[in-house]
Amino acid sequence: MKDFKAQKAPAPAKQGGLNPEIQARIGHQLRAMYDDVVRQGVPDRFAELIRKLDVPGETPTSGHIEGRD
């Protein structure tokens, strides 16, 4: 990635007329931030919370709760 400050773009003229390059960069940053959390997967506390629930009419997947990671 190129230097952030050096790439300051000219002011977008008006609302809705955003420079496509800036728009793409905002989208990229937003997804990068979001995906950093998504990649952490399911923390144990939630995996356990959900897995220990009884599902009526179906056999439990396992009596033992397997931790992730």
User: Which residues contribute to the site for other proteins (CB under 8 A)?
Assistant: 1, 3-4, 7-12, 15-16, 18-19, 22-23, 25-27, 29-43, 45-47, 49-51, 53, 55-58, 61
Helices (H) and strands (E) in the chain, counts: 2, 0
SS3 content of the chain, % helix, strand, coil (to 5): 45, 0, 55
Q: How far is the CB of 23 from other proteins (least distance, A)?
A: 6
Q: How far is the CB of 62 from other proteins (least distance, A)?
A: 11
Q: How far is the CB of 14 from other proteins (least distance, A)?
A: 9
Nearest Cα residue to 22 out of 39, 4, 9: 9
